[in-house]
Amino acid sequence: MELTKKQFDVLVTIEQNKENKYSQRDISKDTNISIGYVNKIINELFEMGYIDSKTKITNEGIKALEPYKVKRAIFLAAGFGSRLVPITLNTPKPLVMVHGKKIIETLLDAVVAAEIPEIIIVRGYLKDQFDILLHKYPNIKFVDNLLYNEGNNILSAYMVKDLMENAYVLESDLVLSNPKLIRKYEYSSNFLGIPVEKTDDWCFEVKNDIITKEKIGGVNCYQMVGISYYDSVDGKKLNKDIEEVLKSPGGKEKYWEQVQLVEKKNDYKISVRECKIDDIIEIDTFNELKKIDSIYDV
């Protein structure tokens, strides 16, 4: 029996917190679904046999989530990180330390905790330095983008275009403080966004939870966070569309997400998955790094 989106959100939240005592109020907070509606969904899931009387997920509930299982996490980590000079002169941006931990580790730890089986890192600049990650994450597979300095990250996406089905795609300069954002299961293709009244950054216009436009700067919109997920249908389309956009005039200069959000947006329905401003921090400049970690403020 196929789950509705709200049934899925509640069931996944219950599964994520199966080791803890988790109230309906907690579920409501995590899912942004009203407590009354959470209660209704819990009754539905119980009648379906997907949770028990103690609101714990059952074996049947695990089976119901199986079609939504995430297969892999793809990290785009090839770039130079010019705005983080001087620290990136000798260190790739994802390997920069923040509060004693490499930036990319905050993401990798969440992927491992979510039991996502495949981890792929597209590397380029100072690529051999990424080998140090194998000590902690031995199942990483590296894909080398030797053309990383000839265009934007669409070149990295092209290297893994045939791996986009049931996959997270993550920018690797994000410090993640809420690991629950990375989940074992996803309902459909989505992009993380932070609701804001105003931003000068990259953002989304959204209608009925579907992203309708990507732009720089906006009001009453969602600030874009560089973590997205693609189901099997959209992943197959991306395999073809990434190559087509890359080979179009000016294609190398595009950011990879412009394939599905701009160039081919009529062929996709990417929903926004809401997160909070303190869940994740993108470090763009050396000044931002100094504000986040005082060890660099010398």
> Rounded mean pLDDT of 142-155?
95
Domain-ending residue, one of 43, 67, 91: 67
User: What is the reported pLDDT for 264?
Assistant: 97
pTM greater than 0.85? yes
Q: For position 124, which CATH number holds?
A: 3.90.550.10
State yes or no: pLDDT of 21 exceeds 80. no
Q: Looking at the structure, do residues 34 and 179 belong to the same domain, yes or no?
A: no
User: What is the reported pLDDT for 126?
Assistant: 96
Q: For position 11, which CATH number holds?
A: 1.10.10
> Rounded mean pLDDT of 260-284?
94
Q: Looking at the structure, do residues 129 and 56 belong to the same domain, yes or no?
A: no
State yes or no: pLDDT of 164 exceeds 90. yes
> Rounded mean pLDDT of 116-133?
97
As for how many domains the chain has, the answer is 2
Residue 41: domain span: 5-67
The C-alpha atoms of residue 151 and residue 143 are separated, in whole angstroms, by 17
Domain-ending residue, one of 45, 67, 89: 67
Q: Looking at the structure, do residues 75 and 127 belong to the same domain, yes or no?
A: yes
Give residue 82's pLDDT band: very low, low, confident or very high (50, 70, 90). confident
Exposure string of 60-91, with b = 16+ CB inside 10 Å and e = fewer, is ebeebbeebebebbbbbbbbbbeebeebbeeb
Q: Looking at the structure, do residues 59 and 77 belong to the same domain, yes or no?
A: no
Q: Looking at the structure, do residues 59 and 96 belong to the same domain, yes or no?
A: no
User: What is the reported pLDDT for 284?
Assistant: 81
Give residue 295's pLDDT band: very low, low, confident or very high (50, 70, 90). confident
Give residue 1's pLDDT band: very low, low, confident or very high (50, 70, 90). low
Q: Looking at the structure, do residues 47 and 84 belong to the same domain, yes or no?
A: no
State yes or no: pLDDT of 53 exceeds 80. yes
CB 267 within 8 A of CB 241: yes
Q: Looking at the structure, do residues 50 and 101 belong to the same domain, yes or no?
A: no
Domain-ending residue, one of 67, 91, 112: 67
Mean confidence (pLDDT) of the chain: 94
Q: Per mean pLDDT, which range of 74-83, 170-179, 214-223 is the poorest?
A: 74-83
Q: Looking at the structure, do residues 78 and 192 belong to the same domain, yes or no?
A: yes
State yes or no: pLDDT of 232 exceeds 70. yes
Q: Looking at the structure, do residues 35 and 134 belong to the same domain, yes or no?
A: no
Q: Residues of the chain with pLDDT > 70: what percent?
A: 100
Give residue 7's pLDDT band: very low, low, confident or very high (50, 70, 90). very high
Q: Looking at the structure, do residues 14 and 156 belong to the same domain, yes or no?
A: no
Give residue 223's pLDDT band: very low, low, confident or very high (50, 70, 90). very high
Own/partner contacts of 87-95, CB < 8 Å, gap of 24 or more, are: 87/286, 87/289, 87/296, 88/125, 90/126, 91/126, 91/129, 92/123, 92/125, 92/126, 92/127, 92/129, 92/130, 93/172, 93/173, 93/283, 94/130, 94/172, 94/173, 95/129, 95/130, 95/132
Q: Looking at the structure, do residues 93 and 14 belong to the same domain, yes or no?
A: no
Q: Looking at the structure, do residues 253 and 208 belong to the same domain, yes or no?
A: yes
